[in-house]
Amino acid sequence: MLRKIVIMLGAALALLSPPAVANVQPYPASFHAQHISANGVSIYVRVGGKGPAVLLLHGYGETGDMWAPLAAALARDHTVVVPDLRGLGLSSRPAGGYDKKTQAGDVAGVLDALKIEKADLVTHDIGNMVGYAFAAQYPGRVTRFILIDAPLPGVGPWDQILRSHALWHFSFWGPDAERLVKGRERIYLDRFWNEFSADPKQFDEASREHYARLYAQPGAMHAGFEQFKAFDQDAIDNKAFLAKGMLTMPVLAVGGEKSFGPMMATVMRSAATNVTEAVVPNSGHWVMEENPTATAKLVVDFLR
């Protein structure tokens, strides 16, 4: 049982038709992008659509670009806000602040700048951790919360997760790690895209080249490693959040069929009182590349 959990959870870290191989889809022309100064950092944000706000947060190995197909679908009746996390993509790369409690402050600052009081949250991978820290600190600002295919430090079976050899990258950071991957960013990232997908071919070459270029920018790999380095502090912060009470807004816990699967709901039931379980079929961890149609349907239906 533990082995099964480890396999599924390993896929977590690092869109009802057959899954389509997807290139990096551009955002609709109706979207605009801007840099927003918030919490001592410059956050690159894409904004489009009209209606109730929904915030999309990406994870490691990608940027906010991953959400373009879903953003296009949601923009029909939502104001869609898609930032790049601190240090990643086109956001600035400060020396610190990569704990998720601090990054929740980035999110609050972005929403404040856009004069958005409340929003639905849709998050993936490390974006789950930032989203949880935001929801725990600002529960009145979150209407509904969808978390996709990644656990939360210090929550539920976290200690079991840490025993998995597949998750060596949780502790892979520091100057020597950065020297090892410098000029080899594509090789390092391929490991995530290959091992954590149901079929590596679904994470296509154009997407790999796109994200590898972004992560090869000066300071980008350092910022990515800092996201993992902060997990110990994130676990401490999350336990403190839990001690104050569980989330009460509606939560949809989504796992890829060949990745986290129903275990996502098991984790979230340790942190929230109103949890619905869902699984993206024919997909590993990279749900927006492996099965964007099914992922979008789950999200859109839950937010109706």
Q: Which pLDDT tens digit goes with each residue over 12-40?
A: 433 333 333 346 899 999 999 999 999 99
Residue 6 identity: V
b/e for 101-138, b at 16 or more Cβ within 10 A? bbbbbbbbbbbeebebeebbbbbbbbbbbbbbbbbbbe
Reduced to 3 states (helix: H, G, I; strand: E, B; else coil), residue 291 is coil
50-79 pLDDT, tens per residue?
Answer: 999 999 999 999 999 999 999 999 999 999
Categorize the per-residue pLDDT at 168 as very low, low, confident or very high, splitting at 50, 70 and 90: low
How far apart, in whole angstroms, are the C-alpha atoms of residue 74 and residue 101? 27
Task: Give the residue extent of every domain in the chain.
Answer: 2-302
* CA torsion angle 253 254 260 263 (round to 10): 30
What is the topology classification, in CATH, of domain 2-302? Rossmann fold (3.40.50)
Percent of the chain past pLDDT 90, that is, above it, reads 87
* Long-range CB contacts (within 8 A, 24+) of 30-38: 30/75, 31/71, 31/75, 31/80, 35/90, 35/91, 36/83, 36/109, 36/110, 36/113, 36/114, 37/109, 37/113, 38/105, 38/106, 38/108, 38/109, 38/110, 38/112, 38/113
